[in-house]
Amino acid sequence: MENVILVTGGAGFIGSNFILQRMELDPASIVNLDTLTYAGNLHNLAAIANEQRYEFVQGDIADRQLVRHLLNRRKPRAIVHLAAESHVDRSIRGPDDFIRTNVGGTFALLEEVRAYWRGLADQDRKNFRLLHVSTDEVFGSLDSEDPAFSETTAYAPNSPYAASKAASDHLVRAYHHTYGLPVLTTNCSNNYGRFQFPEKLIPLMVLNARDGKPLPVYGDGQNVRDWLYVEDHCEAIATVLDRGRVGETYNIGGGNEKRNIEIVETICDTVDEMAGRRGPSRRQLITFVRDRPGHDRRYAMDARKIERELGWRPRETFESGIRKTVRWYLENADWVRDVTSGSYRQWIATHYSS
């Protein structure tokens, strides 16, 4: 077995941050399997595209033959499974792709990985790991007084996205209990940082604020999310992969519970400061719009297990992380232009007009 990590969905937001971080800090070779949906962007990985230790393979995790050949050719010691459809609003408008990739794709991957793993030599079989990246959304919604989600909180997914991720988590768990596949699962809170596709809250608001467009806040803006800086998340994934206990799940959070309206106001003030302002505060652009159906009220993660067992905790404060993020979007207009293609503009037009 080679010192190779196979990353699925490595051209997406978290995947590309993870690959760039690992290429810098880890001697392992990285194979990136990504089908390049609207959310996948190889420009994120331009800095390492020609490195010997990196290989990109365009393909679907549900393509079993392709996955089988790739596993047998590259013989990875670990798989970090990030490939998914990831946007709640899109799952509400069209759940099919979510079931196909998140459930069917994960199942196909598990089947091929199981066959590959069974064929490994004893020591390699022992050392092999599949790390499945999941979300806090599988636990449902909290009231303001409820304790944060822990690893033993019962699953109660509320959106098609959350249900598809919950299903994939259950499959991963079952492959460990039934077949002994050495899996790890991480459930993390909302990530933010560079390379996030601008349909998600933070980049959407930064770019609309930059351009003087309305800032569409769903419902009353009082929904709470726990924000995790993407590079902290990537370090957590690497930590669990190296030292996590097989078969366990680890919650990962940023310890930053914020109401959506607070986030949007902070973005307005930061863009005013960094991009300068000619007219009134960008807070004037905030527009309350119709709520998302079934909108979960609050997510919060209890991340004490990963801290206690593995010594991980986030380095970034929200104040410093959001400044870095806003600056990145303002300074990378080319990247933004690149991803806000025809299909992106169509999504924004359809979603926010109804």
CB of 104 to ligand NAD, least distance (A): 9
Separation between Cα atoms, residue 24 and residue 335, nearest integer Å: 22
39 binds, among ligand TYD, ligand NAD, none (CB under 5 to 8 A by kind): ligand NAD
Residue partners of 214: CB distance under 8 A and separation at least 6: 208, 285, 286, 287
Of positions 83, 204, 241, 252, contacts ligand TYD by CB under 6 A: 204
Active site residue 136: yes
Our finding on whether 260 is near ligand TYD (CB under 6 A) is: yes
Separation between Cα atoms, residue 59 and residue 63, nearest integer Å: 7
Separation between Cα atoms, residue 119 and residue 72, nearest integer Å: 10
Our finding on whether 193 is near ligand NAD (CB under 6 A) is: no
CA count, 13 A, side-chain hemisphere, 190 = 24
Separation between Cα atoms, residue 256 and residue 248, nearest integer Å: 24
Q: Which of residues 284-323 bind ligand TYD (CB under 6 A)?
A: 292
Active site residue 344: no
Question: Cα separations (Å) of 209 from 137, 203, 274, 302, 339?
Answer: 27, 10, 11, 32, 18
Considering only 76-84, 150-158, 209-217, 234-242, which stretch makes contact with ligand NAD by CB under 6 A?
A: 76-84
Active site residue 309: no
Identify the CA nearest to 183 among candidates 126, 246, 135, 124.
Answer: 246
Separation between Cα atoms, residue 57 and residue 71, nearest integer Å: 12
Our finding on whether 15 is near ligand NAD (CB under 6 A) is: yes
CB of 298 to ligand TYD, least distance (A): 9
For ligand NAD, give the closer residue by CB, 66 or 285.
Answer: 66
CB of 324 to ligand NAD, least distance (A): 16
Our finding on whether 84 is near ligand NAD (CB under 6 A) is: yes
Torsion (CA) 87, 225, 211, 286 in degrees, nearest 10 = 120
Our finding on whether 200 is near ligand TYD (CB under 6 A) is: yes
Q: Which of 60, 112, 136, 232 is catalytic?
A: 136
Our finding on whether 326 is near ligand TYD (CB under 6 A) is: no
Which positions touch ligand TYD (CB under 6 A)? 88, 190, 200-201, 204, 216-218, 223, 225, 260, 292
Instruction: Give the residue numbers annotated as catalytic, written as ranges.
Output: 136-137, 161
